[in-house]
Amino acid sequence: MYSIIARLYLFLKIAVIVVFETVTLGKARCKCKTKLDGKVALITGGNTGIGLETARDLARRGATVIIASRNVEKSEAAVKDIIKTTGNTKIHFKSLNLLKFSSIIKFADEFNKEYNNLDILVNNSGTTMFKQNLSEDGVERVIQINYVGPFLLTNLLMNKLIASKPSRIVIVSSKANEFHEIDPDDIAGVRPLDALTRYSNSKLYNILWAKALAKRLPEGVTANAIHPGIVKTEIFNTLTDRMRKVVLWVISVFFKNAEEGAQTTIHACVAPELELVSGEYFEECRIRLANKVTRDEKLVDYVWENTMKLVNDRLPRPL
């Protein structure tokens, strides 16, 4: 009985998000013609959905694009697809599993040795999971893939980003952050919560993280969070079959495809007027006010400090 009630509650919360998004529906596009020849862009989860379309756009602009993902087959297919559709052969795949700190460390070590610069880092990977389980690092899996793993990765690549400035960090968040129930003393996400709340928490942490980074980054390195809109992508694959079919049908009729959903991410990556803009939250290629709790500077710092402690407690060498 609890399982049925939990699923109904989750479905109703998703419905609220859909209705709210319908009211503010838009399909803004990134219109700038910025070229990226000689630039290096790294996109987590760049083998499908918004990440794939972001990678394709940056490739068209001439960037060297690295797709970071754990799915080898999909990533190799994505590389071939991008090369075929853009003519840019500087597209590569590197294996990365954000559910394992050991994989993140290995990836960062190899990347730092292999590439001389990192001009754009897009923390795009995201997931939803109905069941709440911890990773081998003791972090709830949605929180780790959506927030803690990217947090670690970005810190391990920070010296490369600083050396490459002007450089940009783009963090994909979601309007779903409005349904958060965050506990900054439980960054690992051990407290029992429903699936949407865990997802919402991870996306609110993303916005807080962008603001914390902006306070700590040197001039020339920026960090911003974005909401792509409601998009038909594979992120919904972890929902139950019936729920996924309903959600994807609604999205396909009323909302965005992956190419449309990638536009705000692309804008944050390349718009020349954003070169010095940092710590902001974007929707429809415009700066918007985020959740009011993100304007609590003490909370921003507290979440940063607790996340840093969580990560350092699990690393062989601290950041």
Query: What was the pLDDT predicted at 152?
Result: 98
pLDDT less than 70: residues of the chain: 1-26, 229-256
Query: What was the pLDDT predicted at 7?
Result: 53
Distance CA 106, CA 114 (A): 12
Catalytic residue IDs: 199
Query: What was the pLDDT predicted at 230?
Result: 64
Residue-wise DSSP of 216-238 = HSPTTEEEEEEE--SB-SGGGGG
What are the structural domains, with CATH classification, of the chain?
34-312 (3.40.50.720)
At 48-69, the pLDDT tens digits run: 999 999 999 999 999 999 999 9
Q: Which of 140, 37, 137, 130 is nearest to 86 (CA)?
A: 37
- Is the pTM higher than 0.75? The answer reads yes
Please, what is the Cα angle at 222 between 219 and 228, to 5 degrees? 165
Query: What was the pLDDT predicted at 145?
Result: 97
Torsion sign across C-alpha atoms 39, 45, 48, 51: negative
Query: What was the pLDDT predicted at 233?
Result: 45
